[in-house]
């Protein structure tokens, strides 16, 4: 491989990843519009926090290898759907569902996949609502469609997931049984807290929240 080829490849990858960056911006704008409008209409902010990231080239290539995907941009585009990721953290489970519906029902959004780990938590206790959605992005070369993985969760679910993530990496995926059990218990404590906070919230704001 010549130096020119490496340079060309790097440019291709940069342009490829840039489209995902644009996809994130579209979703972030949609979320901030929903938040601001909600605040205006109901004097209430259903979103606690939004974070987003484009996968780094290293982490993308690691996933490509792990999933056995061919190392060309078309295959990567088709098979890796979380290159662009947005995490929406809400106070209450009802807001998670509300935001999910408001975003996925927009008519320029196509839902490719939904994984409801709130209705069906993972065996380790993980809870979140995931959607892979496609969003149009308009470039000088024309319209393109970009997949973005959006994770909706409550503050309690987010608290749990960030600790679990650290533990998982600390033990290099081989988490001791005792910790696995405690994590599962902590996940149900988090779910109980969510239910309890929702009840309190309803007492103050009524069933519509
Ligand atoms: P990061 O660093 O957040 O990007 P896969 O993406 O193929 O490994 P799958 O089944 O295709 O897994 O996707 P899934 O289940 O929708 O999960 C994708 C993302 O959800 C993960 O991305 C995490 O962000 C989050 N997630 C899923 N399961 C867990 C879990 O058990 N614990 C925690 N803490 N997070 C989880 P990445 O790429 O793994 O990580």
Q: For the segment 133-188, what is each residue's pLDDT rounded down to a tens digit?
A: 999 999 999 999 999 999 999 999 999 999 999 999 999 889 999 999 999 999 99
191 in any annotated domain: no
Of 62, 149, 164, 182, which one is the catalytic site residue?
149
Residue nearest to atom 38 of ligand 1 (CA): 82
Please tell me the distance from the alpha carbon of residue 113 to that of residue 207, in angstroms, as a whole number: 30
Structure-derived torsion over alpha carbons of residues 197, 203, 206, 209, reported in degrees to the nearest 10: -20
- CA separation for the pair 103, 86 (Å, rounded): 12
Q: Is residue 34 part of a domain?
A: yes
In-domain check, residue 181: no
> Would you say residue 68 lies in a domain?
yes
CB neighbour list of residue 146: distance below 8 Å, 6 or more residues apart: 19, 20, 22, 23, 26, 84, 134, 135, 136, 137
For residue 23, is it within any domain?
yes
Does any domain span residue 144?
Answer: yes
pLDDT at residue 209 greater than cutoff 70:
no
In a domain, 38, yes or no: yes
**What is the reported pLDDT for 111?**
98
Using CB distances shorter than 6 Å, the residues near ligand 1 are 82, 85, 115, 122, 124, 126, 130, 151, 161, 164-165
Tally of structural domains, the chain: 1
Q: Does residue 25 lie within any of the structural domains? A: yes
User: Considering the entire predicted model, what is its pTM?
Assistant: 0.93
Best residue among 82, 156, 165 to mutate for probing ligand 1's pocket (most ligand atoms within 8 Å of CB) is 82
SS3 20: helix
pLDDT digits (tens, 9 = 90+) for 21-66: 999 999 999 999 999 999 999 888 999 999 999 999 889 989 999 9
* pLDDT of 208 above 70: no
CATH code, 96: 3.30.460.10
Q: Give the percent of the chain with pLDDT over 70.
A: 99
Q: What is the ipTM of this complex?
A: 0.91
Is 62 noted as a catalytic residue in this protein? no
Range of the domain at 82: 3-155
Say if strands 110-116 and 129-139 run parallel, antiparallel, or are unpaired: antiparallel
- List, in sequence order, every beta strand (DSSP E) within 26-80: 47-54
């Amino acid at each position: 491989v010549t130096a020119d080829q490496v340079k060309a490849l790097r440019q291709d990858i940069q342009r490829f990843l840039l489209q995902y960056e644009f996809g994130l911006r579209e979703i972030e704008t949609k979320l901030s519009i929903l938040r601001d409008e909600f605040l205006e209409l109901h004097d209430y902010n259903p979103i606690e926090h939004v974070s987003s990231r484009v996968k780094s080239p290293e982490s993308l290539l690691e996933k490509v290898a792990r999933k056995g995907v061919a190392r060309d941009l078309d295959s990567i585009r088709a098979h890796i759907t979380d290159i662009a990721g947005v995490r929406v953290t809400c106070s209450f489970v009802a807001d998670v569902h509300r935001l999910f519906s408001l975003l996925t029902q927009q008519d320029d959004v196509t839902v490719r996949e939904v994984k409801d780990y709130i209705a069906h938590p993972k065996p380790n206790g993980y809870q979140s609502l995931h959607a892979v959605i496609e969003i149009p992005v308009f470039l000088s070369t024309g319209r393109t469609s970009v997949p973005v993985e959006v994770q909706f969760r409550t503050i309690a679910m987010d608290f749990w997931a960030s600790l679990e993530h650290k533990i998982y990496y600390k033990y290099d995926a081989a988490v001791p049984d005792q910790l696995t059990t405690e994590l599962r218990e902590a996940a149900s404590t988090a779910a109980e807290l969510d239910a309890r906070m929702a009840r309190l919230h309803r007492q103050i704001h009524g069933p519509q929240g």
